[in-house]
Amino acid sequence: MPSAIAGDLNPFPLEAAAATLEQLGLRDRIELRRGSGLQVLQPGEVSTAVIAGIGAPLAERLLSEAQATGALAGVRRLIIQPNHGYPKLGSLRAHIDALGWGIIDECLAYDHGRMYAIIVAEPGPSTLQDEVDRELGPILRRGNDPLFGAWIEHERARLTQACQGMQRGRADPQQLASYQRMLAILAAAV
Ligand SMILES: C[S@@+](CC[C@H](N)C(=O)[O-])C[C@H]1O[C@@H](n2cnc3c(N)ncnc32)[C@H](O)[C@@H]1O
């Protein structure tokens, strides 16, 4: 019978999760643990780990901690859903890659007016060949995801607005140039 361990740093989300699991009749299949990131796991306890619903920089930190403390021992697959797009999403892809995990799949999700990228990685060689792999994703860049066009448009609108804001204010020229470079990548993607 499949089972899972779900963790959160704070008590209230765990109480909400317990109530939801009760309603769904899954309370005996999913154990809830309080703690930071993957530190709630004993080495070898799970084969797939999911990090979801947090910012990309925090996901980077939790992955590094898990790698350093051995909490990733036995994990053969990571599924990561950060709440960020450019530039933090690309930074997270590079971080996953640098830790020795190859990105083997990706997809997009739409929920309550927001879009999210979901990354699947397994221990293995790098799958990031260039900056387009890093920023658009080695799988997503192929354009096969049904939400790919909407994601590109969403990112273009967001970054165009950010660039306009930077041009009106005292923009950091390097940051402006990096956003403009990403806009060029997005324009070439469609
Ligand atoms: C934006 S909420 C997302 C909640 C849930 N995914 C949802 O969509 O309803 C972020 C969650 O991450 C939890 N969190 C923040 N830092 C954490 C950490 N270091 N380890 C585990 N959970 C953490 C927070 O307590 C919160 O429940």
- What DSSP letter does each residue of 113-178 carry, written as one string? TEEEEEEEEEESS----SHHHHHH-TTGGG--STTHHHHHHHHHHHHHHHHHHHHHTT--HHHHHH
- Rounded-to-integer distance, Cα 85 and Cα 184, Å: 16
- Residue identifier of the C-alpha nearest atom 15 of ligand 1: 9
pTM over 0.85: yes
Say if strands 77-82 and 114-123 run parallel, antiparallel, or are unpaired: antiparallel
Reported as a single tens digit per residue, the pLDDT across 20-50 is 999 999 999 999 999 999 999 998 999 999 9
Reported as a single tens digit per residue, the pLDDT across 141-164 is 999 999 999 999 999 999 999 999
- Residue identifier of the C-alpha nearest atom 6 of ligand 1: 53
Express as a percent the part of the chain with pLDDT over 70. 100
Atom number of ligand 1 nearest to Cα 10: 25
Q: At 170, is the pLDDT very low, low, confident or very high (cuts 50, 70, 90)?
A: confident
- The beta-carbon contacts of 176-180 under 8 Å, at least 24 apart in sequence, are 178/87, 179/86
Q: Do the beta carbons of residue 5 and residue 41 sit within 8 Å?
A: yes
Q: At 181, is the pLDDT very low, low, confident or very high (cuts 50, 70, 90)?
A: very high
**Res 190 pLDDT > 90:** no
Residue 171 has what pLDDT?
82
How many beta carbons lie within 10 A of that of residue 188, not counting itself? Answer: 9
55 CA distance to ligand 1 middle (Å): 9
- Rounded-to-integer distance, Cα 74 and Cα 161, Å: 44
Express as a percent the part of the chain with pLDDT over 90. 95
> Torsions phi, psi of 147, nearest 5?
-95, 5
Strand arrangement, sheet containing 48-54: 48-54, 77-82, 114-123, 101-111
Q: What's the average model confidence in pLDDT over 165-188?
A: 93
71 CA distance to ligand 1 middle (Å): 18
Average pLDDT, the chain: 96
Q: What's the average model confidence in pLDDT over 70-97?
A: 97
- Rounded-to-integer distance, Cα 63 and Cα 47, Å: 15
Atom number of ligand 1 nearest to Cα 83: 1
CATH 1.10.3470 fits 36-189, yes or no: no
Residue 49 has what pLDDT?
98
**Res 112 pLDDT > 90:** yes
**Res 169 pLDDT > 90:** no
Q: At 175, is the pLDDT very low, low, confident or very high (cuts 50, 70, 90)?
A: very high
